[in-house]
Structure 1
């Protein structure tokens, strides 16, 4: 197992996007096992609605999908199939919102439930509204795919909310025109500005204050309460992980077991284990992540000999540290230091 180099790739999300992708591509004849290969996920996982997965796992499924289909416009195709119902309680709350503006504001207020890789904002300029996507920090080779998936799924959501096939005014994309540029015109029917300052879906601002056909204030209020509860559970889980990581970082020499960490955090080991399972991780994985981060820091920023670094990380034998570092990074500590 090579651990993620980017801490943000350890962020968690829901299953809805890859569940849809796997379902759609399976119908097209792509085997599920090929789509899930090396992701650590099984077909049974996709049938567990409340399961959380890491962004790294989701990115692996996306990379597999592109490799299997050889379709450069896959992001566009999948985004156009990401209907609002795929977002669970958030989607139903959006459908019950009073106006499109209210629905989009609700979604932007709960990015964890939306499951986006971008920081989304709603901007207005005269008679044009823009859903702007910035801050992408993940796999660079999937930039085009994830940008297309994000913007076209937002278009699909807007169409679902309004109950009509509205066309965007234009699409703004920060990258150069790809070889499949014609697919934008074929699938979206709008102009595309490549090399723009940011990614944006542009549409008629008058749509924002249109009342939604399925608006229902009681349902919307109930849905909002559920969204807040789901958000709190997700954030609570992240907080627990961060507490464990911070504790381990300060006590690596004594980090012998989950029971010992639980006692020092004044929690029960059973409660911590349940949190870790819900967040799709384990005590050993967290320990490995913290040790790996610390090891890289000591190897690159100090001249400490390898055996002393091993001691600081809580290893009784240098050979055990060397073996672990090779498993995490694919390199020996000495080679990494060079």
Structure 2
């Protein structure tokens, strides 16, 4: 059985909660069994496990049983701008083919529960979604959301060259299927062998006027680095990382973190060294990861980001960011805005 303890940004939970609130659900009911609260939802630095997002989906389905096709309604809200660095990397890609390749390589940075692969047959490019490992109670919501969101993103990427898409769902045609016809411009099949989104293969290699190869390459590298930083650490380093992520503002005090783990700072330092890391390295990794997400995915000023990450001032933050990443906060934000 698949584990759902991998991390992702709070953005998807924000989207789901907003959908629930608009349909009359109560916030506390939507956040049941997630350990999240209003402050967590409002904080762009918050990182959650996929299991917490899945709990929100379950709460949404339980609280709104009268709303048909909730997955489709959610999917239409997942535009490129919701995905931070991953979204900017796709938006800056010189061709749709490059964007599709990036999307598959770095799908850990998306909000999918169903993994996807890319195929090309005859006149079609095909995204194949495998939701075998998704729990039964959220499987329908998941595949509705993911295929609709993928279609939204491809339309944003390809524009008028998209033509009519063709979608295939493994589940039987639901009683209230009218929304499917409204969401998808082309053919919609049910009870299919696979969950698929098909679109014209010819659109893959057409140049995109807003694409920029240099920016796409830089963001490609940053996507890789972000995945590495998000990868769940094991042992003591994982516990330290969790404590740092939960602190608002983030504490740089090793003694406080060591106390929370019921050990001395000396013991913690020795055990982290045995795991080939250090407290400073963990702090830097988290700060850089959160800074990159806030610079590309929010409108917070450099001063606000510096404050949230517990730097003395914007200048100190900018110097540290350049030391860790090789470029300034302004450079990253400008590249992201150019890609968008």
Shorter chain as denominator, the TM-score bin is 0.5 to 0.7
What is the CA deviation profile of residues 270-306 of structure 1, one whole-angstrom value per residue up to 9, with x for unaligned ones? 579969x99xxxxxxxxxxxxxxxxxxxxxxxxxxxx
Partner of 1:93: 89
From 20, 30, 34, give the equivalent of 1:35.
30
RMSD: 3.0
With structure 1 as the length reference, what TM-score do the two structures score?
0.68
CA distance in 2, matches of 1:42, 1:272: 29
Moved more, 153-162 or 65-74: 65-74
2:233 pairs with 1:239: yes
Give the alignment's TM-score, normalised by structure 2. 0.68
Aligned residues: 261
Q: Which secondary structure state, in structure 1, belongs to the residue aligned with residue 93 of structure 2?
A: coil
Secondary structure at the residue paired with 1:124? strand
Q: Find the partner of 1:183 among 179, 197, 209.
A: 179
Is 2:52 aligned against 1:47? no
Residue number among 221, 224, 241 corresponding to 1:225 in the alignment: 221
SS in 1 for 2:233: helix
1:308 equivalent in structure 2: none
Specify whether residues 222 and 244 from structure 1 end up closer, same or farther in structure 2 by C-alpha distance, changes over 3 A only: closer
- Identify the residue that residue 12 of structure 2 maps to in structure 1: 17
> Deviations for 1:72-107, whole angstroms, at most 9, x for unmatched residues?
311111111210110011101111100111011111
In structure 2, what is the Cα distance between the partners aligned to 1:19 and 1:199? 26
Contact 1:167 1:188 in 2 (8 A): no
Structure 1: gaps spanning 5 or more residues: 1-5, 246-255, 279-338
Separation in structure 1 between the aligned mates of residue 186 and residue 63 of structure 2, nearest angstrom:
29
What stretches of structure 2 of length at least 5 have no aligned partner? Answer: 240-260, 288-340
- Does the C-alpha gap of structure 1 residues 241 and 208 become closer, same or farther in structure 2, counting only changes over 3 Å? farther
- Bigger mean CA deviation after superposition, 43-52 or 201-210: 43-52
Instruction: Confirm or deny that 1:134 pairs with 2:134.
Output: no
1:82 equivalent among 78, 81, 88? 78
Measured after TM superposition, the shift of residue 212 of structure 1 is 2.1
